[in-house]
Amino acid sequence: MRDYIALGTSPIDEACAYVGEDDYWEKAKKEGRVFQKQLERVFGPPPETAYFAGKSFSHDFGTYVELCIFYDMDSKEEVEYALKLEDEMPEYWDEKAREELGLPVQERR
C-alpha cells in the first residue's frame, strides 16, 4: 500500500513562498524542485519505487503545494527513507540550493 509524507517546499528554518503572494505557484514550484535536489544530495535518491512529487492541498486562504515523498508502506527500505527525511529535515538551504534560488550565501554557526 502506498502512502506519502508532506515535506514542505523549503528547509524548516527558511522562509518560503506564501499562498496569496504574487507569483506564488512559480515560486513554490521552484522552491520544491530545489528542495528535492537538496534532499537527494543529503539523503541520496529515493529507493526502489519511492519518488518525490508536488501535491496540492486546500487551505482557508487558497490552494498550496508541498513536496511529498511517496513510498510503499510494505517496503522497509522505502519507509525508513521517508521517515529519515521527515526526522532529519535540513534546517537551512545548502550553498548549492541558495545559488539555484539566487539567494546570497550565508555563513551558519
> Does any domain span residue 22?
yes
Indicate whether 108 belongs to any domain: no
Consecutive H or E run containing 66: strand 62-72
Q: For residue 107, is it within any domain?
A: no
Residue 71 lies in a domain: yes
Whether residue 31 is contained in a domain is answered as yes
Range of the domain at 7: 2-101
Rg of the chain over all Cα atoms, to the nearest angstrom:
14
**Total structural domains within the chain:** 1
pLDDT tens digit sequence for 92-104: 999 999 999 999 8
How confident is the model over 66-100, as pLDDT tens digits?
A: 999 999 999 999 999 999 999 999 999 999 999 99
Q: What predicted TM-score, i.e. pTM, was given to this entire model?
A: 0.91
**Is 10 domain-assigned?**
yes
Helix intervals (H) in the chain: 24-43, 76-87, 95-101
| pLDDT for the residue numbered 107 | 62
Cα separation, 9 vs 2, whole angstroms: 21
**Is residue 85 included in any domain, yes or no?**
yes
Cell of 106: 550565508
81 in any annotated domain: yes
How many angstroms separate the first and last alpha carbons of the chain?
A: 42
* pLDDT digit string, tens, across residues 30-46: 999 999 999 999 999 99
